[in-house]
Structure 1
Amino acid sequence: MEHHPVNPLPRGAVDSDVDLRVDGRARRAHDPAILGVIAVGGALGATARYLISLGWPTPAGGFPVNTFVINIVGCGLIGILMVLVTDVFTQQRLVRPFLGTGVLGGFTTFSTYAVDIEKLVTGGHAGTGLLYLAATVVGALLAVRCTVSATRALITWRTR
């Protein structure tokens, strides 16, 4: 299957979380199994994020390193996951909702990122807020790109 150099999904792939037709059959929009694994995964991911934030608090006015690292690591893991579910584990219908939407969706926190920026700017730390804003966007995109490329290279190397 041919891949677009920037898009982590194979050409012609559909998003199984959105497409209501799979293998020509209509799929229920609210599949209880999918909703269940998303809920359990989300609880696990959010709990992990919360525990990290307790153990690694951000001082007032400081760069939110904990949220920054959580979001960069989470985006990198999403890059790995997307390659694996589109190229390797294509028949595992609950892996992506559990790990991607659930665990990693609960683990990453772009809402906290937005609140952190607002607090930094209104607290007189606009420079730190702008640095955090830019570094997170660049870091998240680089994390996804690097992990997608590395995972694809590893899969190609292992299948030779």
Structure 2
Amino acid sequence: MNQVLAIAAGGALGSVLRFWLSTWVHTLAGRGFPYGTLTVNVLGCLAMGFLLVLFVDRFSDNTVLRAGVLIGVLGGFTTFSSFSIETFNLIEQGAVFKAVLNMAGSLVLCVGATWIGVILGRQV
């Protein structure tokens, strides 16, 4: 039950952090491209790679904290559903190049960020 509560609390925190960061990025970069969601997903993947290594290799005994952070905070923070609807909207608006750029950028940057996070986590 403690894990469920940690996940719920972490999810709430992650969702609010996503809203704040995404909104801030959109005020800087505009709304012509889903920069906010892309930024959130890349940073979330970087954090996931880094923290996964720390929690599995270094802090494996604290399953409540691991669940709260990895499933809760980062699950609430990253935004695949937002990515999907924004990409769909770009396609529907006829901005197919932007949609493909968003899909390719998300795939390459998020997997790359996860990889970098794992490398950084292993060096700690």
TM-score range, shorter chain: over 0.9
Q: Give the secondary structure class of the aligned counterpart of 1:63.
A: coil
- Say which is worse superposed, 91-100 or 111-120, in terms of deviation: 91-100
Q: State the 1:71 CA deviation.
A: 0.1
Q: Out of 7, 16, 39, which is 1:47 matched to?
A: 16
What does the per-residue CA deviation read over 1:64-107, in whole Å, with 9 as the maximum and x for residues that have no partner?
Answer: 11100000000000001110011100111112111000000000
- Identify if the C-alpha distance between structure 1 residues 66 and 36 changes in structure 2 by more than 3 Å, giving closer, same or farther: same
Give the number of the structure whose alpha-carbon radius of gyration is greater: 1
Contact 2:14 2:77 in 1 (8 A): yes
- Of structures 1 and 2, the one with the larger relative CO (CA 8 A, separation 6+) is 2
Counterpart position of 2:45: 75
Identify which of 69, 93, 106 aligns with 2:63.
Answer: 93
Q: TM-score, normalised by structure 2?
A: 0.92
Structure with more of its chain in helix, by fraction: 2
Unpaired runs of at least 5, structure 1: 1-31, 156-160
Q: Of residues 134, 137, 154 in structure 1, which corresponds to 2:107?
A: 137
Partner residue of 1:3?
Answer: none
Partner Cα separation in structure 2 for residue 140 and residue 56 of structure 1:
17
Q: Which runs of 4+ in 1 moved over 6 A?
A: none
Q: How does 1:1-160 map to 2 (within 5 A)?
A: 32-57=1-26, 58-59=30-31, 62-152=32-122, 154-155=123-124
Contact 2:14 2:74 in 1 (8 A): yes
Which letter does structure 1 place at the counterpart of 2:119?
S
Unaligned runs of 5+ in 2: none
Q: In structure 1, what is the Cα distance between the partners aligned to 2:89 and 2:111?
A: 24
What's the TM-score once normalised by structure 1's chain length? 0.72
Q: How many pairs does the alignment contain?
A: 121
Q: CA separation in 2, counterparts of 1:56 and 1:90?
A: 34
